[in-house]
Structure 1
């Protein structure tokens, strides 16, 4: 067997391993972990809407809530490991392509690479919090956003960088909401394994949850753009401040109730993805 054949055999073996049961299991555990976090963030946001929000409605607040519960440390470790599994799965997609006919296209693999970096960071922050050796997991998303914005604004061309990043996040939010409304998630689900009742429930959670998640992204991006235009980093908002800003709209706290309920739905939708997602 020549060198080219050996290399081809190695690549084929690696691709099969990347799509094997271990990687698929890691993806499903990762979706479950994501669902828990979104569910908790949504509940915390609902508490804020009804005037009882003592904790930040973001990842840090969710982790702190879990830490106070019986066996909270065990759950935190499980979440961190689950999110690490999600990162591993996204890395395998970036290297070897995702499921589906278009999974090996450069654009899809680039998006998977970006998601790998995101989930790797989130997994690290959760595991650091679980180990009690870091504050990234529990730190305020608002403070982090303001600090990062302030540092970038000091760079040459910092206003443009923050502004472009904000536009990118806002556009991504609109894209997420639009795809949810069009039910594009159908392409990734094993619909034939669902009963009509379950499929209807998944549609409700996918559309409502995806739309709410997109609205939050779009609003956070808009605040970043405003911070860049005004050269005021304090106008950048993390997840908690973004959610609280919905209270200041003409709809008052009811808009936050709708968005928070949508985040809860997205948490439930993530559980459905863990069960029926093609990976």
Structure 2
């Protein structure tokens, strides 16, 4: 083989290896950042359930809680940069495909693109909060305002209703996949000992099920807002979580869901360690 061809081949392999390591680092940083947010939201929701919380159980409340800690500003910037990593990782999956035999199909790339947009928005809001220019507003107010604006356009009620129904479906899928332990397909199972596997299954099943319930409930409130033509019935994360305390089970249902969100935070940390990227 020609020396120049060999050199180009070697440089190509080195570049692909470097790109792979960058994507892996971005993914693991993003999963860790996601875990921090879910962990804090779950803790805040637990405080609300026991009557000791004075902050909203959503991203804004989590950021405010983090900012009050020692080195809070540094932690906020690290969290925002981690979420930028998550967005870039999802972008790479949308452009070049994900791991797995069907990772290059449109069925995998399109959800990755949607996740990229979502995490780019979340990263922007966290970095804006860290910079002191907002970004930590109430999810409830944002949800109501967005719903009201959409309802003002032609067919707005249908758009809100269909979007809410879609979120319900997503919630159900998230919950079912967690119960079926579909996340096993994405893990480095060969590196897991018995304790690590138990940790992942407890946090993955419990956390994924709770996350699915929250998504489904938020979507159901959006559908109700569309049917009743009442934007104020739409709920953000905080109001959705608080609504669980208004059920016949009382605050104990909120305790269960909040504990599940804490578990999902821990599960995200486990994915940051053992997920295949």
Q: Same fold (TM over 0.5)?
A: yes
Deviation at 1:18?
A: 8.1
Question: SS state of the match for residue 245, structure 2?
Answer: helix
* Structure 1 residue ranges, 4+ long, deviating more than 3 angstroms after superposition: 12-15
Match of 2:153 in 1: 155
| Structure 2 gap segments, 5+ residues each | 1-8
Matches within 5 A, 1:46-61: 46-61=46-61
8 Å CA contact 1:15–1:96 kept in 2: the answer is: no
Aligned length: 267
Whole-Å separation in 2 of the counterparts to 1:248 and 1:23: 43
The 1:215/1:15 distance shift into structure 2, 3 A limit, reads farther
Question: SS state of the match for residue 103, structure 2?
Answer: coil
Q: Which among 169, 178, 181 is matched to residue 180 of structure 1?
A: 178
Whole-Å separation in 2 of the counterparts to 1:156 and 1:57: 33
8 Å CA contact 1:43–1:260 kept in 2: the answer is: yes
Match of 2:212 in 1: 214
Match of 1:36 in 2: 36
Whole-Å separation in 2 of the counterparts to 1:117 and 1:66: 24
Match of 2:143 in 1: 145
Match of 1:27 in 2: 27
Deviation at 1:19?
A: 5.0
Match of 1:248 in 2: 246
The 1:76/1:87 distance shift into structure 2, 3 A limit, reads same
Match of 2:100 in 1: 100
Matches within 5 A, 1:163-242: 163-242=161-240
Whole-Å separation in 1 of the counterparts to 2:188 and 2:125: 32
Per-residue CA deviation, residues 76-122 of structure 1 (Å, 9 max, x unaligned), is 00000000001000000000000111100011000100000000000
The 1:147/1:13 distance shift into structure 2, 3 A limit, reads farther
Question: SS state of the match for residue 248, structure 1?
Answer: coil
| Structure 1 gap segments, 5+ residues each | 1-8
Deviation at 1:130?
A: 0.3
Per-residue CA deviation, residues 181-215 of structure 1 (Å, 9 max, x unaligned), is 00000000011101111101110000000000000
Match of 1:6 in 2: none
The 1:266/1:15 distance shift into structure 2, 3 A limit, reads farther
Deviation at 1:52?
A: 1.2
Whole-Å separation in 1 of the counterparts to 2:165 and 2:181: 24
Give the alignment's Cα RMSD to 1 decimal: 1.5
Match of 2:80 in 1: 80
Whole-Å separation in 2 of the counterparts to 1:239 and 1:94: 27
8 Å CA contact 1:18–1:96 kept in 2: the answer is: no
Whole-Å separation in 2 of the counterparts to 1:18 and 1:260: 39
Whole-Å separation in 2 of the counterparts to 1:13 and 1:100: 20
Deviation at 1:16?
A: 2.8
Deviation at 1:244?
A: 0.1
8 Å CA contact 1:28–1:275 kept in 2: the answer is: yes
Match of 1:269 in 2: 267
